[in-house]
Amino acid sequence: MAMHETEDNKMVQRFKKRIAPEPHQVVRYCRGGSPLWVSSQHIPSDQDIPPCTCGAKRIFEFQVMPQLLNSLCVDSTGASIDWGTLAVYACSASCNNDDQYCPEFIWKQDFSSDRLTQTQPS
């Protein structure tokens, strides 16, 4: 358990350090790169990301940052929306599907439940 908490703490610190220059950013674009994860839990493997409808592999394109929740005025997560990060994967072949929109794939990663338990006020 302690090892898991340490890994999550490292991930959160890495996340905070990376976004520190622009702490209010709500979208992070990095086509073909890697998402900036907020937890060591629930990170997708290649098998978790389905191929595009054209058959090509999907690659990471951008992520929606948790700071967007502040702009949406979400102050309670009980019966509301919440996420750590939303990673969007797009077609690596940039298919046009006969000039129609193609569905993208989104991976929702929450902050670890252990971390949330530790940070909630008593």
pLDDT (tens, 9 = 90+) of the chain, 122 residues, equals: 445 567 777 877 888 888 888 888 889 999 999 999 988 888 999 999 999 999 999 999 999 998 887 777 666 555 557 788 899 999 999 888 777 778 899 999 987 554 443 333 32
Domain ranges across the chain: 2-116
Q: How many other C-beta atoms can be found within 10 angstroms of the C-beta atom of residue 78? A: 5
Query: Residue for token digits 């949406």?
Result: 72
Q: How many other C-beta atoms can be found within 10 angstroms of the C-beta atom of residue 32? A: 9
Is 84 exposed, middle or buried, given 0-12, 13-18 or 19+ CB atoms closer than 10 A? buried
SS3 14: helix
The pTM of the full predicted model, rounded to 2 decimals, is 0.75
Q: How many other C-beta atoms can be found within 10 angstroms of the C-beta atom of residue 83? A: 17
